[in-house]
Structure 1
């Protein structure tokens, strides 16, 4: 009688569904990563309403409070779909940049009613859903060369770093030089630099939860020291308690005007929402996919169609709630670096966004200067694969370079990857290597050139 090998422990349903053992992670690590991601992007709960409220004005209604609830619910829904359907540790929320375009260009600049603008957002999301089922979006991502994918990850790293440095006041705008060194003697910069060094040291010592610890310690220091880093003031406390009743978006829910959005004059607005979100999401997923180690040997992201579907359906849901385009967030890199590897991380983020409609006063205790160090450090870590780009070949190095610098210099992931694709195609074609370019890239390059020429880079 031969001895049979001892059978491995039978994983539980949570492990089997999310593949925790296969990803070499645990529920505790996923929860910690989810909390880290949430803290790095909790600012959207306040920033998005402050932007959209300038365009969405309703008499006798607290629009800002309603927009905060809509923002939280859109982020909760989208991230939950990403975690349960795509099973990636990526979080979603109304996107920065697209919310500004919605408010300042479409509504305030073009004079289009906010209800119509919401209809345009919904239609762009619906087109995304259809393309996700057809695999078009995944085919686009798969057509992007590996060197450009690495450059995209590095560019996102620089983009995160400049966001963090700006949030902390380390860099500031300047009328002549565009950017300059901020007030290094200010309390905010001092706290951010201190948090940056503490987090870096903890990571160097391989302390688990180093990024989260850095955020918490910096927040505690800001509160205890009474630093004026909470919208220019010291922390005012939680005088009205930790739990507050949410302001339901009753004046925003289902107010979108689809008929007006389908008019010929609004097709360019729909196109911009569609196009920018396409490249913003594609660039973010590629960068995060590289960071999390998801890319296969051919540089493809397995399950990308499910991720794109999650992003698309979240945009439709958010438009119904009354907020601008919902998209994948580069801040998810903080949770990935913290150890998040499966959809359970996204589920944790979703639950925290759901709770935030009741516990949102707690988020006010985490200033931007506390999350800024995490963004800067994660940005540095996302540069780790940059040496794999073939810098000796101009056909590769120049497109990679413009991809990297295009993101922080234009404050847009979409612009960076667009510049990279256009330059890749043109340089290869004119240097006699046109056959090495994927046919999809030719189509994308033409569409991108038309987009910049026709819409003026809007």
Structure 2
């Protein structure tokens, strides 16, 4: 394993690598791992948003906007907050943007972008005023460990889904996928490779697992890549028609840049849309950042992280920038845990991710070499690592155990980090209060629980 950098290096002074026990090679390797694990967003986000945004050359423009937004968010998180947390347009929020707001409610996509921008402004204001970090501080330590574990299960579920091991089933909701399919067995081989490398303490085990699995997919011509006829999977199609094989000219997203409609988004009829964008990303990003900070060892004994105002403000700033560029909410990515699992501990990891996203506007065909089946094992393994904190929960105290259990299982079962955090907080406050131990809970957490409960009642009424 690479040793710490010298105390006199510029990178050490900027990112405190020696103090964190890290090194430049380790941080770069962690950044590359995170990028490979989340690079699917370069192709998935345009696919989702192009269903709502109809402009010339929409897919390529959306790909460029996705890359630039992810680069900005990750660079800000690394340079200003100095944490190894990458950011990009969030999955789930992009689907809400495209299918619910634009297609379902008939809201123009420019107005929906305005709503995303306003929610980002609210994030920044609450972060600067200290409201977001006050809420995080009010969450009890056991529930913070539960949030981390829930995110771990959420990651593992993503991995199983990407691998094709878990599929939808009309009778049982979910079921076992076709284990003989190339996608499934390639993912299982990748899981075996990465697991063995981890057990043997090979430096960069997760990254090597991704790369070796991708090489297998290409050499064996396995049909594990998207883009085939009628949506079928295909073997790697190669780099035909591109400069030097892997280069493609970037396209400025002129049809998306600064197209947001703020005046329309401020209309009374769209306040519920603004609120939904704000609520979901607030608790999704807050839970993600808290869980990642715990995994990276950045929480103190009380479960609080350093530099919370900067960290949460960078999340809001990324959402604002993404809206200006023409994409749905940009937020912290749970896949950052893969880089943390590779030893990433400083902002240099996030900066590396940001630079790679910038380069992807030229070299984005290279990202297409890595199929979802190759990154799925990384998500599964990192999810397993994040369950370590489950032993820190007071399982013998049911007023702690039940809310923590709900927070853990609700995340993967509802496919929402925000839902897991919400039900964990609501149940924690309710059980403590009704069991005569209400004084153990802060007044702020009660207020948050009431707001969360009101939102679910509002959604039900709607």
Q: Return the TM-score normalized by structure 1.
A: 0.97
How far apart in 2 are the matches of 1:452 and 1:63?
35
How far apart in 2 are the matches of 1:395 and 1:457?
29
How far apart in 1 are the matches of 2:48 and 2:414?
19
Whether the aligned pair in 2 keeps the contact of 1:107 and 1:113 (CA below 8 Å) is yes
How far apart in 2 are the matches of 1:439 and 1:46?
44
Report what 1:48 is aligned to: 45
Residue of 330, 352, 357 corresponding to 2:334: 330
Q: How does 1:359-398 map to 2 (within 5 A)?
A: 359-398=363-402
Report what 1:233 is aligned to: 234
Residue of 69, 77, 91 corresponding to 2:64: 69
Give the secondary structure class of the aligned counterpart of 2:429.
Answer: helix
How far apart in 2 are the matches of 1:354 and 1:10?
29
Residue of 4, 8, 13 corresponding to 1:11: 8
Report what 1:79 is aligned to: 74
Q: How does 1:380-419 map to 2 (within 5 A)?
A: 380-419=384-423
Report what 1:300 is aligned to: 304
Q: Spell out, residue by residue over 1:25-59, the C-alpha distance to the aligned partner (whole angstroms, 9 max, x if none).
A: 1111100000000000000000000000001112x
Report what 2:265 is aligned to: 261
How far apart in 2 are the matches of 1:309 and 1:84?
13
Residue of 447, 450, 457 corresponding to 1:453: 457
Q: Spell out, residue by residue over 1:273-316, the C-alpha distance to the aligned partner (whole angstroms, 9 max, x if none).
A: 11111101111111111110000111101112111111100000
Q: Are residues 430 and 265 of structure 1, via their aligned partners in 2, closer, same or farther at CA, if it must alter by over 3 Å?
A: same
Give the deviation of 1:248 after TM superposition. Answer: 1.5
Give the deviation of 1:456 after TM superposition. Answer: 3.4
Residue of 172, 178, 182 corresponding to 2:173: 178
Give the deviation of 1:159 after TM superposition. Answer: 0.2
Give the deviation of 1:11 after TM superposition. Answer: 1.8
Give the deviation of 1:457 after TM superposition. Answer: 9.6
Give the deviation of 1:440 after TM superposition. Answer: 1.1
Give the deviation of 1:439 after TM superposition. Answer: 1.0
Whether the aligned pair in 1 keeps the contact of 2:155 and 2:335 (CA below 8 Å) is yes
Q: Spell out, residue by residue over 1:165-203, the C-alpha distance to the aligned partner (whole angstroms, 9 max, x if none).
A: 000101100001000000000011000000001100100
Q: Are residues 84 and 221 of structure 1, via their aligned partners in 2, closer, same or farther at CA, if it must alter by over 3 Å?
A: same
Q: How does 1:143-154 map to 2 (within 5 A)?
A: 143-154=138-149
List alignment gaps of at least 5 residues for structure 2: 227-232
Report what 2:121 is aligned to: 126
How far apart in 2 are the matches of 1:439 and 1:123?
28
Give the secondary structure class of the aligned counterpart of 2:387.
Answer: coil
Q: Are residues 293 and 457 of structure 1, via their aligned partners in 2, closer, same or farther at CA, if it must alter by over 3 Å?
A: farther
How far apart in 1 are the matches of 2:443 and 2:40?
40
Report what 2:229 is aligned to: none
How far apart in 2 are the matches of 1:298 and 1:409?
29
Q: Spell out, residue by residue over 1:140-187, the C-alpha distance to the aligned partner (whole angstroms, 9 max, x if none).
A: 111111111000000000000010100010110000100000000001
Give the deviation of 1:246 after TM superposition. Answer: 1.3
Whether the aligned pair in 1 keeps the contact of 2:6 and 2:18 (CA below 8 Å) is no
Whether the aligned pair in 1 keeps the contact of 2:37 and 2:338 (CA below 8 Å) is yes
Report what 2:188 is aligned to: 193
Report what 1:271 is aligned to: 275
Give the deviation of 1:132 after TM superposition. Answer: 1.1
How far apart in 1 are the matches of 2:309 and 2:164?
38
Whether the aligned pair in 2 keeps the contact of 1:451 and 1:457 (CA below 8 Å) is no
How far apart in 2 are the matches of 1:156 and 1:436?
25
Whether the aligned pair in 2 keeps the contact of 1:253 and 1:320 (CA below 8 Å) is yes
How far apart in 2 are the matches of 1:440 and 1:53?
41
How far apart in 2 are the matches of 1:367 and 1:446?
43
Moved more, 295-304 or 420-429: 295-304
Number of equivalenced pairs: 449
How far apart in 2 are the matches of 1:217 and 1:441?
47
Q: How does 1:274-353 map to 2 (within 5 A)?
A: 274-353=278-357
Report what 2:230 is aligned to: none
Report what 1:136 is aligned to: 131
Report what 1:3 is aligned to: none
Report what 2:429 is aligned to: 425
What RMSD over aligned residues (CA atoms) do the two structures have, in Å?
Answer: 1.1
How far apart in 2 are the matches of 1:297 and 1:391?
19
How far apart in 2 are the matches of 1:201 and 1:435?
48
Report what 2:33 is aligned to: 36
Report what 2:18 is aligned to: 21
Report what 2:359 is aligned to: 355
